[in-house]
Amino acid sequence: MLQSINLQEKLLRVRNKKLKKVDVLAWVQKIFIEVDERYNSTEERLKRVDNITLNQFNINKTDTDAIFHIDQIKKICIDYRLRFLDAKYFKSDYPSEVIIKIHQLEKEHNTKLHGFKIVAPSVLFKLKKADDPMLFVPMSNDYYYLVHKWGNDMHPLRKFKYWVIRNVGNFGISLFVTSLLLTLATHSFFFREHTSIAYFFLLFVFYLKGALGLSLFYGISSGKNFSEYAWRSKYDKIC
């Protein structure tokens, strides 16, 4: 009766014909050393800034959902108060899946990737956390290729949380509305039966100046800046 074939045993026999038993451990060790060296080499590329601003991709193997223009990245960064910086400034650890994805892309496109960029909250460029970072590499004409996204998903209210400091316009609207609401809520308390449009306007101006002064004092003392100006800044004091 014919016995079934164990493919793993067959494969081992083929391999062992070329390898002496005494060389097997050395061969396995060499494989792991090569893997570690390649892994460390990729991590080193992530930690340095390259002057290379163009990576060559095979157009037939590119994922169209991974290609983004700098203006689209800028909008996301401003809306959600994120940074878009060189990967060397990233303080968090890279999971193994990121390195594997880089190696897969390099093999598919027969290239070596350079110029890595990270989109992430500013805190990830100062502390080790995992909060939805995205790794990009540059293409041509201000386009970037998304290599991998990992970590936790962004909180759905983050966009609204930072709406006020998205730009100068939003900040001005917020001060105006806040001052108006405070005036409506308190003008009768201050002026009682003597209230008038003139008194209402004076109280509104008082609140507006106070809110503006406190906001500027806090912003300057803490080094904060509007998202539209801070999204590509590597400095902590304008985060």
Q: Mean pLDDT of all residues in the chain?
A: 80
| pLDDT at residue 18 tops 70 | no
Lowest mean pLDDT among 20-24, 64-68, 72-76, 112-116: 20-24
Q: Model confidence at 35, in pLDDT bands (50, 70, 90)?
A: low
Q: Model confidence at 173, in pLDDT bands (50, 70, 90)?
A: very high
What integer is the mean pLDDT of 141-169? 86
- DSSP code for 148: E
pLDDT at residue 200, rounded to an integer:
85
**95-98 own/partner pairs: CB under 8 Å, 24+ apart:** 95/150, 96/39, 97/148, 97/150, 98/135, 98/147, 98/148, 98/150
Lowest mean pLDDT among 40-44, 79-83, 95-99, 191-195: 191-195
Q: What's the pTM?
A: 0.72
**Backbone φ, ψ for residue 236 (5° rounding):** -65, -30
Domain positions in the chain: 7-47, 64-149, 166-223
